Amino acid sequence: MNSVQYILGIESTAHTFGCGIASSEGRILSNIKSEYVPTSGGIHPREASQHHASKAAATISGALEEAGLRLSDIAAVAFSAGPGLGPCLRTGATVARTLSLVRKCPLVPVNHCIAHIEIGRLATGEDDPLVVYVSGGNTIISAYAGGKYRVFGETLDIALGNCLDTFARHLGLSHPGVPKLEQLADEGRRFIPLPYVVKGQDVSYSGLLTMASRLAGECDRSDLSLSLLEVAYGMVAEVAERAIAHTEKSALLLTGGVARSKRLQRALSFVCSDHSARFHVVPPDLAGDNGGMIAWTGYLALKEGLTVPVESSYVNPNWRLDEVEVPWRR
């Protein structure tokens, strides 16, 4: 009974198809991903799902090989069931169902946002942090209370990463745009006023994106990048500060793809030192979407018996973080 279990996790909510393997001891044995990069513009859901379908087999065998395991060693298959883009989610779910049927092992649906939180908790060892989860698709301030992750703040329109990526494309920067935006910002000198929109504990980025894009032809690119990042990150830092004051948590965890931003890390560590809270960032290789976080969260859910029969293993593109029971935190 005490032998080690291996869980295979499939991630496919947006541009990344990932497969990772986690052990019941909390080790990520492998974490392979393949990213869909649009030839122009933003993510196209159907093209992304076609990319995922074409890369699935190689990604999964790569993850098994790197972990030194065979499919028969896998105790359960976990998959991202939402939130995300419908066509992408369905591709990942189809792959996961197939593996579960072939292997005759349990199938575990995982909420993508919760996986970003759980992998951060695992990697940093911080048990009960206030979570700042920022990525291309989500901007959420959350903390655990009474059986669920509660949402204390979120975006009212587009996500932080979406705002930054879209603006980077507008400047003609190639993918990935955010690091290049940050480099430009380091050379910026003059601050250009841009819409700073905080409502309660929520933020709004659409006005900021529109205004910055409009000014792109008239202003210095470095100044504009500096101003956009300062405003965008300042808003997150402010709502994080409000949430940490309100929840009185003693630690903050920064997770999600945008967690790699040094400038954002700096802003949030400022907030933490003002409130005597510990500051943690998810390691860079676990920041973006990945299968390892799905595998690990799948293990936590499997322990609680949260499996689903293949015939009712639906995806939910609008699955809110705060709808999910997390009995492993009780």
Partner 1 sequence: MAEMRLFKKGAEAELYLTDWMGLRAILKRRIKKGYRNPDLDSYVRGTRTSNEAKLLSEARRLGVPTPVVYSVDKRNCEILMSYIDAQPLKRFVGGMDPEGLALTFSRVGEMVGRLHKGGIVHGDLTTSNIIPYSGLLYLIDFGLGEHTSDVESRGVDIHLMRRALESSHHEVSSAAYLSFIDGYTRVMGSLSEPVLKRVDAIRRRGRYVDVSHRKGE
Which residue ranges make up the site for partner 1 (CB under 8 A)?
A: 13-14, 41-43, 83-85, 137-139, 145-146, 148, 150-152, 154-159, 162, 166, 191, 193, 196, 198-202, 206, 209, 226-227, 230-231, 233-234, 237-238, 241-242, 244-246, 266-268, 270-271, 274, 317-318, 320, 322
Q: How far is the CB of 82 from partner 1 (least distance, A)?
A: 9
Strands 251-255 and 278-281, how do they pair? parallel
Task: Judge residue 20's burial from the number of C-beta atoms within 10 Å of its C-beta, 0-12 exposed, 13-18 middle, 19 or more buried.
Answer: buried
At 158, which amino acid appears? I
State which residue, 99 or 178, has the beta carbon closest to partner 1. 178
Task: Output 56 or 268, the one with its CB closest to partner 1.
Answer: 268
Closest separation in Å from C-beta 106 to partner 1: 27
Q: Pick the closer one to partner 1 by CB: 5 or 213.
A: 213
The DSSP code sequence of 274-311 is HTT-EEEE--GGGTSS-HHHHHHHHHHHHHTT----GG
Number of Cα atoms under 13 Å in the Cβ half of residue 317? 9
Least distance in angstroms from the C-beta of 182 to partner 1: 15
Pairing state between β 202-203 and 198-199: antiparallel
Task: Indicate the DSSP class of residue 202.
Answer: E
Name the minimum Å distance from CB 162 to partner 1: 7
Q: Report the residue number, 182 or 202, with the smaller CB distance to partner 1.
A: 202
What 3-state DSSP class applies to 12?
coil
Angle at 259 between CA 257 and CA 265, to 5 degrees: 165
Minimum Å gap between C-beta 222 and partner 1 is: 14
Query: Which residue's CB is nearer to partner 1, number 77 or number 151?
Result: 151
**One-character DSSP codes across 84-97:** S-HHHHHHHHHHHH
- Comparing CB distances to partner 1, the nearer of 69 and 197 is 197
Closest distance of CB 282 from partner 1, Å: 19
